[in-house]
Structure formats: structure tokens, C-alpha cells
Amino acid sequence: MRLIFMGTPAFAVPALEALAGAGHEIAAVATRHADVADWARAAGLHVLAPGVGLAERIEGLEFDWLLSIANLDLLPEPVLARATRGAVNFHDGPLPRYAGLNAPVWAILNGEAQHGVTWHLIEGGVDAGRIVAQRSVDIGPDETAFTLNAKCYAAALESFPEVVAELARGAPEARAQDASARSWFGRDKRPEGLILDPARPAADLARLVRALDHGGYRNPLNMARIAIGGRVFLAPRAEVTGPAGAAACPGTIIATEERGLTIATGEGALRLTGLMSADGHVPILAGITAGMAIDPPDPRAEARVDWRRPAVEVDRQIRALSPFPGAWCEAAGERLKLTRSRLARGAMIERADKPRQIGSGACGV
């Protein structure tokens, strides 16, 4: 069996080693990751750049299957047509549910007890092809996007030999997806504007923070956040600490600590730690004390943005609405620029002159 392989650094090397160890021929490796390209060249493999022009770059190559693993590039028909038997994609969700992007994030947010991964044929639309193999993984009570992604990759590696064996047969046994059970999460979907709404239960807010916790890896959605007096704070970690007390109104700051604070919510208290300023630096919390309140979410700001317009127009709308021009965050040891649109989805909160002070037992006063 002869293949072209497209995959991410976390999966590429063990998968390529497994393919070679099983006696299969790798016609080329298409990757934009330097470490994968270096490994492939050292192994004597042909390396190609993915993306625009790939059809021309594979001209003249003969191969049976194209393997696409955690690849975010939509493969055009001229590329797919070059594979004599077909193309297979790895998806980090239990299709037909959780089609689209960031499936582990949405599974945690929705309170799922189980998630899964799917190998499917590339046919009939994005993440819609017949299923070759699936595996289930459990979602723990303290699961984060990072830990669930790790489980998904482990399940992918465990099931990969089964997929390869099916492809080697020439015509793999594959079952059609149930279209009625399909759910879709697109690139522009953001969880609740990324803002922590203190009116909600602490458990729900902690789940939102965990769902957006990608560890040291690139965060495609940005972090959950709060605002105090118009100042935005990113919240990478959260835990439910118990009841907030009858006198504490939702949003009231119960306690403060270095780079952290505890707030009352609609049900229970929520401790936020590792806080960062909107530019990703260690925040200055001086002047923020118990008894103050975080700013309530402002749904009107996001409602005034027409997300259907071209990107340049959306950006113009956001700059007109938001006092926050941009943000930086630490991820995998590098600075990653966050787009204004991502910031605005979570940080368009009307600027206040100073943090609100709430008197004991006087909600909203």
C-alpha cells in the first residue's frame, strides 16, 4: 500500500514509524511543521508543503490512500482525486456528533461523560464520510481541553493499526453516519463570548474555564475572562470552593490572593487562580478588594457586531466598540497574537470609571 501522509507533530512520527514498520510505502509527507519535515527527510521521505498548489505538487505521484490527521486544511477535489482508492481523515470527536472544530472543548462544555475519536472516509462533505473506526474515551470531572486532547491522541494511536489494516484490504468496511444525529461546531463559534457570568452556577463557570484550558499549547479560542472596572483579566484556572454565603450577591469578590480571587456566583463560590492581564502579563490587583464586584457581561456589545460581514468590516466594527485594541497570550513558549475579533467576543465590556463596591447583603446597590 502506498500513501501520502498529512499530520500534526504529536501524531506524525509514531504514525509514520508504524506505517513503515508494517511494510507500507510512503509516497510523500505533506506538512508545514519543521520538526515533522526534518524527521521525514532524515528518514529519506519526500516532503511537500500543504495548502494552495498541493494538487500541482503531487502531480506525477502514484498513491493509493491519502491520510489526513488533525489537518485543518480542506482538501480540494483535485487532490482527493489523485488517490486511487480514497482519503481518510482523523477527527477528534464521536461522529456524527461534534463534527467541525474544537470538539473536545464543546464536549466538556456540554457536560458529556464520554467523548471519542473517529476515522472516516473523506466524502460527502466535511466530517460526513463513512466511518472506518471509532474509539470512546471517558471525560473526568476535572477534565480540561488539554487532558481530553491527550486522551484523543492516545485513542488515535491505539486505533491506527486497525485503520491501516482496513485500508490495506483495498476496500475498508465502513458504515454510513446517521445524519439525524449530526451536530456541527464551526470555526467562528465561541463559547458564551468567553465571559464568566457570575449569575450562573460556579460549577458551570469552572467547566467553561476547563474547556478553554489548552495547557501550554496554542489556544484556538482564547481563555475565559472577567472584567473589573473595565479591566480585563484572563482566567486560566478555576475551582468550585463551596457555598458563597447568603449575604454574597453573584459577582461579589469574596476574597483576593496573589494572582487570584474568589467570587460569589448564582450557586456557590468560584476561585480563579493564575489570573493574567489582557496582554498576557502578571496582573496588578492592587486596589481590588473583597466586597467589590466584577463587571456584568454586556451582551449588547457583541449584538452590535454583524459577524456575517467580510473580516475587514467586522474588524472595523470591533475597533469602534471595544476599548481593548488587542491582546497577547503565552502559549507553548511563544507569543501568539490574538485577533481583535477573539478579544471582542470576550472583552467588549463597557468601561467603568472604577470597580463597583457592593455593601454587605445589598445585591445590586
Q: Using an 8 Å Cβ cutoff, are 223 and 208 in contact?
A: no
What are φ and ψ of residue 116, in 5° steps?
Answer: 180, 175
The pTM of the full predicted model, rounded to 2 decimals, is 0.81
In this prediction, residue 44 carries a pLDDT of 94
Note the pLDDT of residue 335: 28
> For residue 261, what are the β-bridge partners?
256, 272
348 pLDDT exceeds 70? no
Residue 315 pLDDT more than 50?
A: no
DSSP string over 192-247: GGGB--TTSBHHHHHHHHHHT--TTS--SS--EEEEETTEEEEE-EEEEEE---TT
Q: Rounded to an integer, what distance in angstroms lies between the CA atom of residue 133 and that of residue 149?
A: 18
What is the phi-psi region of residue 195: left when phi exceeds 0, alpha when psi lies from -120 to 50, beta otherwise?
beta
Separation CA 91–CA 190 (nearest Å): 20
DSSP 8-state code for residue 4: E
SS3 257: strand
Q: What is the pLDDT of residues 46-102, one digit of tens each?
A: 999 998 999 999 999 999 999 998 777 789 999 999 999 999 999 999 999 999 999
Q: Which domains does the chain have, with CATH numbers?
A: 2-185 (3.40.50.170), 191-357 (3.10.25.10)
- 255/261 Cα distance (integer angstroms): 6
SS3 126: coil
Average pLDDT estimate for 172-192: 90
For residue 158, the one-letter residue type is E
Check whether 332 has a pLDDT greater than 50.
no
pLDDT at 308: 52
- Helical packing angle, 311-321 and 340-347, nearest 10°: 40
What are the two backbone dihedrals, phi and then psi, of residue 172, each rounded to the nearest 5 degrees? Answer: -65, 150
Q: Is pLDDT above 90 for 136?
A: yes
Confidence of residue 363 (pLDDT cuts 50, 70, 90): low
How sure is the predictor about 313, in pLDDT bands with cuts at 50, 70 and 90?
A: low
* pLDDT score of 333: 28
> C-alpha distances in angstroms, 302 versus 154, 199, 212, 297, 299?
38, 19, 20, 10, 6
